[in-house]
Copies of this chain bind each other. A is one copy, B any other.
Amino acid sequence: MATLQDVAKKAGVAPITVSRVVNNSGYVAQEVRERVEAAVEELGYVPNILARSLRSRQTNTLALVLSDVTNPFFTTVARGAGDSAAEAGFMLILCNTDEREQEEQRYLEMLVQRRVDGVLLVPAGKAVRQIQQLRQHGTQVVVLDRRLSEPVADVVRGDSLGGSRALCRHLVQQGHRVSAVLTGPKQVSTSRDRVQGFREAMAEAGLETMCRAFYGQYSQSSGYAMAGEALNQTPRPTALFATNNFIAIGALNCLRDRGVKVPEDVALVAFDDLPPGLVTFPFLTVVSQPAYEMGRKGAELLLRRLNGDAEPYQEVVLPVEMTLRRSSGSFGTQPESMIGDASPPLVERL
Protein backbone atom coordinates (compact mmCIF):
# COMPACT_ATOMS: atom_id res chain seq x y z
CA MET A 1 0.00 0.00 0.00
CA ALA A 2 1.33 3.34 -1.05
CA THR A 3 2.29 5.79 1.66
CA LEU A 4 2.56 9.50 1.75
CA GLN A 5 6.31 9.08 1.34
CA ASP A 6 5.83 7.17 -1.87
CA VAL A 7 3.65 9.90 -3.22
CA ALA A 8 6.22 12.51 -2.22
CA LYS A 9 8.98 10.67 -4.02
CA LYS A 10 6.93 10.21 -7.16
CA ALA A 11 5.93 13.87 -7.21
CA GLY A 12 9.41 15.04 -6.34
CA VAL A 13 8.36 16.96 -3.24
CA ALA A 14 8.71 16.63 0.52
CA PRO A 15 6.25 14.48 2.46
CA ILE A 16 4.88 17.47 4.26
CA THR A 17 3.88 19.00 0.96
CA VAL A 18 1.85 15.96 0.10
CA SER A 19 0.26 16.21 3.50
CA ARG A 20 -0.68 19.79 2.78
CA VAL A 21 -2.25 18.88 -0.52
CA VAL A 22 -4.17 15.93 0.88
CA ASN A 23 -5.47 17.91 3.84
CA ASN A 24 -5.94 21.16 1.98
CA SER A 25 -3.94 22.97 4.62
CA GLY A 26 -1.26 25.58 4.17
CA TYR A 27 -0.03 27.10 0.96
CA VAL A 28 0.76 24.95 -2.04
CA ALA A 29 1.43 26.30 -5.54
CA GLN A 30 -1.16 25.25 -8.06
CA GLU A 31 1.46 23.56 -10.21
CA VAL A 32 2.84 21.52 -7.31
CA ARG A 33 -0.64 20.62 -6.15
CA GLU A 34 -1.47 19.16 -9.52
CA ARG A 35 1.73 17.16 -9.60
CA VAL A 36 0.96 15.72 -6.19
CA GLU A 37 -2.63 14.95 -7.05
CA ALA A 38 -1.49 13.08 -10.13
CA ALA A 39 0.89 10.99 -8.02
CA VAL A 40 -1.85 10.27 -5.48
CA GLU A 41 -4.11 9.10 -8.26
CA GLU A 42 -1.46 7.00 -9.92
CA LEU A 43 -0.42 5.20 -6.77
CA GLY A 44 -3.92 4.77 -5.41
CA TYR A 45 -2.81 6.43 -2.23
CA VAL A 46 -5.17 6.25 0.74
CA PRO A 47 -4.13 8.25 3.79
CA ASN A 48 -3.57 6.27 6.95
CA ILE A 49 -5.76 7.84 9.57
CA LEU A 50 -4.11 5.85 12.33
CA ALA A 51 -0.80 7.57 11.74
CA ARG A 52 -2.49 10.90 11.43
CA SER A 53 -4.41 10.35 14.64
CA LEU A 54 -1.33 9.25 16.49
CA ARG A 55 0.31 12.51 15.64
CA SER A 56 -2.66 14.86 15.73
CA ARG A 57 -4.37 13.29 18.75
CA GLN A 58 -7.70 13.28 16.97
CA THR A 59 -9.46 10.20 15.71
CA ASN A 60 -12.59 11.78 14.28
CA THR A 61 -14.50 8.99 15.92
CA LEU A 62 -17.39 9.05 18.38
CA ALA A 63 -18.90 6.20 20.31
CA LEU A 64 -22.46 5.56 21.39
CA VAL A 65 -22.75 3.42 24.49
CA LEU A 66 -26.29 2.33 25.24
CA SER A 67 -28.18 -0.58 26.69
CA ASP A 68 -29.55 -2.22 23.54
CA VAL A 69 -29.94 -0.97 19.95
CA THR A 70 -32.73 -3.43 19.57
CA ASN A 71 -34.96 -1.18 21.64
CA PRO A 72 -36.69 0.98 19.00
CA PHE A 73 -36.17 4.06 21.11
CA PHE A 74 -32.41 3.57 21.13
CA THR A 75 -32.39 2.49 17.51
CA THR A 76 -33.69 5.90 16.61
CA VAL A 77 -31.27 7.62 18.95
CA ALA A 78 -28.48 5.74 17.18
CA ARG A 79 -29.66 6.86 13.80
CA GLY A 80 -29.79 10.49 14.93
CA ALA A 81 -26.32 10.32 16.41
CA GLY A 82 -25.02 8.55 13.32
CA ASP A 83 -26.38 11.23 11.03
CA SER A 84 -24.83 14.05 13.03
CA ALA A 85 -21.51 12.26 13.17
CA ALA A 86 -21.49 11.52 9.45
CA GLU A 87 -22.19 15.12 8.57
CA ALA A 88 -19.14 16.16 10.53
CA GLY A 89 -17.00 13.47 8.92
CA PHE A 90 -16.93 11.36 12.07
CA MET A 91 -17.49 7.64 12.38
CA LEU A 92 -19.64 6.14 15.10
CA ILE A 93 -18.80 3.09 17.19
CA LEU A 94 -21.76 1.28 18.73
CA CYS A 95 -21.67 -0.53 22.08
CA ASN A 96 -24.49 -2.48 23.75
CA THR A 97 -24.20 -2.77 27.52
CA ASP A 98 -27.50 -4.52 28.26
CA GLU A 99 -27.74 -2.16 31.22
CA ARG A 100 -24.77 -3.87 32.89
CA GLU A 101 -22.28 -1.54 34.55
CA GLN A 102 -19.47 -4.01 34.11
CA GLU A 103 -19.93 -4.18 30.34
CA GLU A 104 -20.18 -0.42 30.27
CA GLN A 105 -16.89 -0.10 32.12
CA ARG A 106 -15.23 -2.57 29.77
CA TYR A 107 -16.40 -0.68 26.70
CA LEU A 108 -15.38 2.68 28.08
CA GLU A 109 -11.88 1.36 28.70
CA MET A 110 -11.66 0.05 25.17
CA LEU A 111 -12.83 3.39 23.85
CA VAL A 112 -10.18 5.28 25.78
CA GLN A 113 -7.55 2.91 24.43
CA ARG A 114 -8.78 3.70 20.96
CA ARG A 115 -8.66 7.38 21.73
CA VAL A 116 -12.15 8.12 20.46
CA ASP A 117 -12.73 11.85 20.63
CA GLY A 118 -16.04 11.64 22.42
CA VAL A 119 -18.59 9.31 23.93
CA LEU A 120 -22.36 9.52 23.92
CA LEU A 121 -23.28 7.63 27.03
CA VAL A 122 -26.58 6.20 28.20
CA PRO A 123 -25.28 5.27 31.63
CA ALA A 124 -26.29 2.00 33.24
CA GLY A 125 -25.34 3.23 36.69
CA LYS A 126 -24.29 6.38 38.48
CA ALA A 127 -21.57 7.04 35.92
CA VAL A 128 -20.07 10.07 37.67
CA ARG A 129 -16.75 8.36 38.32
CA GLN A 130 -16.63 6.85 34.84
CA ILE A 131 -17.22 10.22 33.25
CA GLN A 132 -14.50 11.84 35.29
CA GLN A 133 -12.10 9.11 34.26
CA LEU A 134 -12.96 9.56 30.61
CA ARG A 135 -12.39 13.26 30.81
CA GLN A 136 -9.11 12.71 32.59
CA HIS A 137 -8.02 10.73 29.56
CA GLY A 138 -9.09 13.55 27.29
CA THR A 139 -12.34 12.00 26.14
CA GLN A 140 -15.38 14.24 26.05
CA VAL A 141 -18.73 12.89 27.20
CA VAL A 142 -22.35 13.75 26.63
CA VAL A 143 -24.96 11.82 28.58
CA LEU A 144 -28.15 10.80 26.81
CA ASP A 145 -31.58 9.91 28.13
CA ARG A 146 -30.66 9.97 31.82
CA ARG A 147 -29.93 12.48 34.54
CA LEU A 148 -26.69 12.74 36.48
CA SER A 149 -26.50 13.18 40.22
CA GLU A 150 -23.74 15.75 39.73
CA PRO A 151 -23.19 18.14 36.82
CA VAL A 152 -20.13 16.45 35.36
CA ALA A 153 -21.23 16.44 31.71
CA ASP A 154 -23.79 17.75 29.27
CA VAL A 155 -27.07 15.86 29.36
CA VAL A 156 -29.72 15.50 26.68
CA ARG A 157 -32.85 13.76 27.87
CA GLY A 158 -36.61 13.63 27.63
CA ASP A 159 -39.02 15.06 30.16
CA SER A 160 -39.62 11.90 32.17
CA LEU A 161 -41.22 13.62 35.11
CA GLY A 162 -43.62 15.79 33.12
CA GLY A 163 -44.47 13.01 30.73
CA SER A 164 -45.35 10.47 33.34
CA ARG A 165 -47.25 13.03 35.37
CA ALA A 166 -49.43 13.79 32.35
CA LEU A 167 -49.95 10.13 31.61
CA CYS A 168 -50.99 9.37 35.18
CA ARG A 169 -53.21 12.42 35.47
CA HIS A 170 -54.97 11.03 32.45
CA LEU A 171 -55.50 7.75 34.30
CA VAL A 172 -56.99 9.63 37.22
CA GLN A 173 -59.30 11.53 34.89
CA GLN A 174 -60.43 8.24 33.41
CA GLY A 175 -61.64 7.40 36.91
CA HIS A 176 -58.94 5.01 38.05
CA ARG A 177 -58.39 4.94 41.80
CA VAL A 178 -56.07 1.96 42.24
CA SER A 179 -53.02 1.79 40.05
CA ALA A 180 -49.48 0.50 39.76
CA VAL A 181 -46.34 1.58 37.98
CA LEU A 182 -44.06 -1.06 36.46
CA THR A 183 -40.58 0.32 36.05
CA GLY A 184 -36.91 -0.38 35.41
CA PRO A 185 -33.88 -0.49 37.72
CA LYS A 186 -33.84 1.92 40.64
CA GLN A 187 -30.38 3.22 39.74
CA VAL A 188 -31.57 4.52 36.39
CA SER A 189 -32.87 8.08 36.59
CA THR A 190 -35.66 7.63 34.05
CA SER A 191 -36.99 4.84 36.20
CA ARG A 192 -37.03 6.97 39.33
CA ASP A 193 -38.36 10.06 37.55
CA ARG A 194 -41.26 8.23 35.99
CA VAL A 195 -42.23 6.74 39.32
CA GLN A 196 -42.01 10.21 40.76
CA GLY A 197 -44.38 11.58 38.11
CA PHE A 198 -46.77 8.76 38.86
CA ARG A 199 -46.59 9.52 42.60
CA GLU A 200 -47.19 13.21 42.08
CA ALA A 201 -50.21 12.69 39.88
CA MET A 202 -51.70 10.25 42.35
CA ALA A 203 -50.93 12.51 45.30
CA GLU A 204 -52.73 15.40 43.61
CA ALA A 205 -55.81 13.24 43.55
CA GLY A 206 -55.34 12.06 47.12
CA LEU A 207 -54.66 8.55 45.92
CA GLU A 208 -51.14 8.05 47.28
CA THR A 209 -52.21 5.11 49.40
CA MET A 210 -53.92 3.38 46.50
CA CYS A 211 -50.88 2.96 44.30
CA ARG A 212 -47.79 0.81 44.17
CA ALA A 213 -44.45 0.82 42.37
CA PHE A 214 -42.69 -2.28 41.08
CA TYR A 215 -39.01 -2.03 40.17
CA GLY A 216 -37.47 -4.49 37.74
CA GLN A 217 -35.75 -4.32 34.38
CA TYR A 218 -36.56 -2.44 31.20
CA SER A 219 -37.36 -5.76 29.51
CA GLN A 220 -40.34 -7.73 28.30
CA SER A 221 -39.83 -10.56 30.74
CA SER A 222 -39.57 -8.19 33.65
CA GLY A 223 -42.68 -6.37 32.44
CA TYR A 224 -44.50 -9.67 32.32
CA ALA A 225 -43.42 -10.58 35.84
CA MET A 226 -44.21 -7.18 37.33
CA ALA A 227 -47.65 -7.11 35.74
CA GLY A 228 -48.31 -10.51 37.29
CA GLU A 229 -47.33 -9.25 40.72
CA ALA A 230 -49.38 -6.11 40.32
CA LEU A 231 -52.49 -8.09 39.42
CA ASN A 232 -52.10 -10.15 42.58
CA GLN A 233 -52.45 -7.12 44.81
CA THR A 234 -55.64 -6.44 46.68
CA PRO A 235 -57.39 -4.31 45.80
CA ARG A 236 -56.41 -5.13 42.26
CA PRO A 237 -55.22 -2.12 40.25
CA THR A 238 -57.50 -1.02 37.43
CA ALA A 239 -54.67 0.82 35.70
CA LEU A 240 -51.04 0.03 34.96
CA PHE A 241 -48.29 2.44 33.93
CA ALA A 242 -45.35 0.81 32.11
CA THR A 243 -42.33 3.10 32.10
CA ASN A 244 -40.98 1.88 28.77
CA ASN A 245 -42.07 0.09 25.63
CA PHE A 246 -40.59 -3.31 26.51
CA ILE A 247 -42.23 -3.37 29.92
CA ALA A 248 -45.51 -2.44 28.25
CA ILE A 249 -45.26 -5.31 25.82
CA GLY A 250 -44.42 -7.76 28.59
CA ALA A 251 -47.32 -6.49 30.64
CA LEU A 252 -49.65 -6.78 27.69
CA ASN A 253 -48.63 -10.40 27.22
CA CYS A 254 -49.21 -11.12 30.87
CA LEU A 255 -52.66 -9.54 30.77
CA ARG A 256 -53.57 -11.54 27.70
CA ASP A 257 -52.35 -14.79 29.27
CA ARG A 258 -54.47 -14.11 32.32
CA GLY A 259 -57.51 -13.28 30.25
CA VAL A 260 -57.56 -9.70 31.49
CA LYS A 261 -58.98 -7.39 28.84
CA VAL A 262 -57.40 -4.03 28.01
CA PRO A 263 -58.84 -1.48 28.53
CA GLU A 264 -62.13 -3.05 29.72
CA ASP A 265 -60.67 -4.76 32.81
CA VAL A 266 -57.38 -2.93 33.20
CA ALA A 267 -56.08 0.20 31.50
CA LEU A 268 -52.48 0.39 30.35
CA VAL A 269 -50.39 3.44 29.52
CA ALA A 270 -46.72 3.54 28.69
CA PHE A 271 -43.62 5.63 28.13
CA ASP A 272 -41.98 5.47 24.67
CA ASP A 273 -44.03 4.97 21.57
CA LEU A 274 -43.03 2.58 18.83
CA PRO A 275 -41.95 4.41 15.68
CA PRO A 276 -45.01 5.63 13.80
CA GLY A 277 -45.92 3.18 11.10
CA LEU A 278 -43.95 0.36 12.59
CA VAL A 279 -47.02 -0.77 14.41
CA THR A 280 -49.89 -1.45 12.11
CA PHE A 281 -52.61 -0.85 14.65
CA PRO A 282 -51.48 1.56 17.34
CA PHE A 283 -53.29 0.72 20.50
CA LEU A 284 -51.29 1.98 23.45
CA THR A 285 -51.74 5.33 25.08
CA VAL A 286 -48.21 6.60 25.39
CA VAL A 287 -45.87 9.45 26.02
CA SER A 288 -43.24 9.47 23.31
CA GLN A 289 -39.84 11.11 23.29
CA PRO A 290 -38.06 12.71 20.33
CA ALA A 291 -35.50 9.94 20.06
CA TYR A 292 -33.95 11.01 16.77
CA GLU A 293 -33.54 14.54 18.05
CA MET A 294 -31.96 13.23 21.22
CA GLY A 295 -29.26 11.39 19.28
CA ARG A 296 -28.73 14.28 16.93
CA LYS A 297 -28.57 16.98 19.61
CA GLY A 298 -26.32 14.83 21.74
CA ALA A 299 -23.82 14.31 18.96
CA GLU A 300 -23.93 17.97 17.97
CA LEU A 301 -23.26 19.04 21.52
CA LEU A 302 -20.38 16.58 21.71
CA LEU A 303 -18.89 17.84 18.47
CA ARG A 304 -19.16 21.40 19.70
CA ARG A 305 -17.25 20.44 22.83
CA LEU A 306 -14.56 18.89 20.68
CA ASN A 307 -14.23 22.17 18.87
CA GLY A 308 -13.28 23.77 22.12
CA ASP A 309 -16.61 25.10 23.32
CA ALA A 310 -16.05 25.73 27.02
CA GLU A 311 -19.54 26.68 28.18
CA PRO A 312 -20.62 25.26 31.51
CA TYR A 313 -22.31 21.89 31.27
CA GLN A 314 -25.89 22.13 30.17
CA GLU A 315 -28.90 19.89 30.57
CA VAL A 316 -31.19 19.81 27.56
CA VAL A 317 -34.66 18.52 28.42
CA LEU A 318 -36.57 17.66 25.29
CA PRO A 319 -40.36 17.95 25.29
CA VAL A 320 -42.44 14.80 25.10
CA GLU A 321 -45.79 14.13 23.51
CA MET A 322 -48.80 12.29 24.85
CA THR A 323 -50.92 10.23 22.48
CA LEU A 324 -54.24 8.93 23.75
CA ARG A 325 -55.36 5.64 22.29
CA ARG A 326 -57.54 2.71 23.12
CA SER A 327 -55.47 1.06 25.85
CA SER A 328 -56.50 3.69 28.36
CA GLY A 329 -60.13 3.58 27.33
CA SER A 330 -59.92 6.97 25.66
CA PHE A 331 -61.87 5.80 22.66
CA GLY A 332 -64.65 3.82 24.24
CA THR A 333 -64.51 0.17 25.01
CA GLN A 334 -65.36 -1.42 21.67
CA PRO A 335 -62.45 -2.73 19.65
CA GLU A 336 -62.26 -0.62 16.55
CA SER A 337 -61.93 -2.07 13.11
CA MET A 338 -58.31 -2.97 12.62
CA ILE A 339 -58.29 -1.49 9.18
CA GLY A 340 -60.02 1.59 7.98
CA ASP A 341 -59.96 3.27 11.36
CA ALA A 342 -59.60 6.88 10.36
CA SER A 343 -60.19 8.52 13.71
CA PRO A 344 -56.87 10.09 14.65
CA PRO A 345 -55.55 9.65 18.15
CA LEU A 346 -55.44 12.66 20.41
CA VAL A 347 -51.94 14.07 20.58
CA GLU A 348 -50.83 16.52 23.22
CA ARG A 349 -47.45 18.23 23.20
CA LEU A 350 -46.13 18.68 26.73
Residues of A bordering B, CB below 8 Å: 1, 44, 46-51, 53-54, 59, 61, 63, 68-70, 72, 75-76, 78-79, 82-83, 86, 89, 91-96, 109-115, 136-138, 220, 249-250, 252-253, 255-256, 259-262, 274-275, 277-281, 283-284, 335, 337-342
How many angstroms between the C-alpha atoms of A137 and B68 in the bound complex?
Answer: 33
Instruction: Say whether, besides A50-B54, A93-B92, A113-B49, A339 and B262 are in contact (CB < 8 Å).
Output: yes
Question: How many copies of the polypeptide does the oligomer hold?
Answer: 2
CB distance from A200 to the nearest CB of B (A): 28
The 6 A-B residue pairs whose C-beta atoms are closest, nearest first, are A49-B113, A94-B94, A50-B54, A49-B114, A75-B75, A249-B277
Q: Which residues of B contact A70 (CB under 8 A)?
A: 75-76, 79, 275
Given A51-B54, A61-B93, 12 more contacts at CB 8 Å? A49-B114, A50-B59, A54-B54, A69-B69, A70-B75, A82-B95, A86-B96, A91-B114, A93-B94, A94-B94, A278-B279, A280-B281
CB distance from A160 to the nearest CB of B (A): 22
Of B53, B82, B340, which is within 8 A of A96 by CB?
B82
Find the B residue at minimum CB distance from A265.
B339
Q: Which residues of B contact A91 (CB under 8 A)?
A: 63, 93, 95, 110-111, 114
Of B83, B256, B280, which is within 8 A of A339 by CB?
B256
Q: Which residues of B contact A341 (CB under 8 A)?
A: 256
Find the B residue at minimum CB distance from A113.
B49
How many angstroms between the C-alpha atoms of A284 and B79 in the bound complex?
Answer: 26
How many angstroms between the C-alpha atoms of A112 and B82 in the bound complex?
Answer: 19
Is the pair A280, B72 in contact by a Cβ cutoff of 8 Å? Answer: no
CB distance from A88 to the nearest CB of B (A): 12
CB distance from A339 to the nearest CB of B (A): 5
How many angstroms between the C-alpha atoms of A337 and B263 in the bound complex?
Answer: 12
How many angstroms between the C-alpha atoms of A335 and B281 in the bound complex?
Answer: 12
Is the pair A283, B338 in contact by a Cβ cutoff of 8 Å? Answer: yes
Is the pair B277, A115 in contact by a Cβ cutoff of 8 Å? Answer: no
Instruction: Say whether, besides A46-B113, A50-B114, A277 and B220 are in contact (CB < 8 Å).
Output: yes
How many angstroms between the C-alpha atoms of A274 and B280 in the bound complex?
Answer: 10
How many angstroms between the C-alpha atoms of A46 and B108 in the bound complex?
Answer: 12
How many angstroms between the C-alpha atoms of A115 and B260 in the bound complex?
Answer: 56
Is the pair A115, B49 in contact by a Cβ cutoff of 8 Å? Answer: yes
Of B46, B61, B113, B256, which is within 8 A of A112 by CB?
B46
A-B contact pairs, 24 of them (CB 8 A): A49-B113, A49-B114, A50-B53, A50-B114, A70-B275, A72-B75, A78-B94, A82-B94, A91-B114, A249-B277, A249-B278, A250-B277, A252-B280, A252-B339, A255-B339, A256-B339, A256-B341, A261-B340, A262-B339, A274-B278, A279-B279, A281-B283, A335-B335, A338-B338
Q: Which residues of B contact A342 (CB under 8 A)?
A: 256
Q: Which residues of B contact A112 (CB under 8 A)?
A: 46
Q: Which residues of B contact A249 (CB under 8 A)?
A: 277-278, 280
Is the pair B115, A96 in contact by a Cβ cutoff of 8 Å? Answer: no
